A and B are shown apart, each in its own frame.
Chain A
Amino acid sequence: MARLHTEQKAKESTYFHQDFHIALNYGIEYVRQRFGPESVKEYLAQFAAAYYTPLKKALKDTGLTAIKAHYEKIYHTEHAQFQMQLLPAELHILLHASPAVAHIKAGGHKVSPLYHETVSTVNREICRDTPYDCELTKYNPENGGYQLRYYKRSL
């Protein structure tokens, strides 16, 4: 019969709880099953519009370097393998495999067939009302790897 006690300060740990990928996957699946595929896009667009407001502003103010800096930070946090190429009016992003998909699968959970919308819908929404657009040019549903192209809209 043990008595255990512990105290932890936030600064003693690094904020990195990968199980949240599983919870997001179930969130997408719940919306898909209950309200249909279009509602998944609607939800992710609503989230992106609300959460990425500062990133959208940075994209308008400083251009594609803002997106590059954002994803460099995200991928480093997630220990992802990636490549980026910044051209004068384009940004090419290659994510070899998604750490999120790897974690969901490692836990024995089924990845939502609409999980790719966390890339395509979210990034399109980030571009909305900016001079830029983006397209998901490749997506590997097995490992969640993708190629994403940001580009300046034609006038």
Chain B
Amino acid sequence: MISCTEFIPAYSELFKFLEEKQDKSAVVDFWKYLSDLFLTNLKNEVMEHGLRGCWNYWSKTLKEEAADFTMDLDEEKGEFSITMHHCPSKGRLLELTHMEAYRDYCEHCDLLYRRVLEPLGFQYDLDRSRTDRARCRLTVRPEPGSNRNETYRNKA
């Protein structure tokens, strides 16, 4: 049995396998496939609660992943953000001395969540400039000019 605590190396190795088997497009297609089938809980939260849904979703997942982060929600301003001080997934991969992380590992976070949030009327921005140190910053805002209380309902 592969424990959920061993998943991240299995995930990273899957990206390498898919790229070797075909090319990067197989990896990207997998991320799309996973986003559509796996992130239904994020989609449902955001459809029901808007930006607050992001807060609800990541409050649970980041606690279970034992992440080191700061998270903010400002509903008046219309902004949700996560400042990841130490990503538990990338951090684990960097700590493994006997295997190497997939080159574009952190790209999955950009595609998976963007694919859920943008069709619901939100802008998704992920600063990956410091992922070599397991750090990143994620920001979600309603599309300019949209009614942030109605956006997600209209797009659902």
Bound together: yes
Please list the residues of chain A having a beta carbon within 8 angstroms of any beta carbon in chain B.
1-24, 26-27, 30-31, 34-35, 39, 42-43, 46-47, 50-51, 53-54, 71, 74-75, 77-78, 80, 95, 98, 100, 109, 118-119, 122, 144
**B70, A15: Cβ atoms under 8 Å?**
no
**A100, B67: Cβ atoms under 8 Å?**
no
> Measured between C-beta atoms, what is the minimum distance from B114 to chain A in Å?
17
Q: List 12 A-B contacts (CB under 8 A).
A: A2-B52, A3-B75, A7-B69, A8-B67, A15-B88, A23-B7, A24-B11, A31-B18, A74-B3, A78-B1, A95-B1, A119-B1
**B67, A51: Cβ atoms under 8 Å?**
no
What range describes how many residues of B lie at the interface?
Answer: 35 or more
A8-B67, A10-B68 known; A51-B74 Cβ under 8 A: no
- Specify which chain B residues have a CB less than 8 angstroms from the CB of A53 in the assembled complex: 98-99
- Specify which chain A residues have a CB less than 8 angstroms from the CB of B21 in the assembled complex: 35, 39
A10 to B59, alpha carbons, bound, how many Å?
Answer: 13
> Measured between C-beta atoms, what is the minimum distance from A118 to chain B in Å?
5
**A15, B2: Cβ atoms under 8 Å?**
no
**A3, B1: Cβ atoms under 8 Å?**
no
Give the contacts of B100-134 with A (CB-CB under 8 A): none
The answer to whether the Cβ of B152 comes within 8 Å of any Cβ in the partner chain is no
**B14, A43: Cβ atoms under 8 Å?**
yes
Chain A interface secondary structure, helix, strand, loop or mixed? Answer: helix
**A4, B72: Cβ atoms under 8 Å?**
yes
A109 to B75, alpha carbons, bound, how many Å?
Answer: 33
A6-B59, A10-B88, A51-B99 known; A16-B74 Cβ under 8 A: no
Measured CB to CB, the nearest residue on chain B to A144 is B1
- A8, A74, A122: the one contacting B62 at CB < 8 Å is A8
**B67, A10: Cβ atoms under 8 Å?**
yes
**A26, B38: Cβ atoms under 8 Å?**
yes
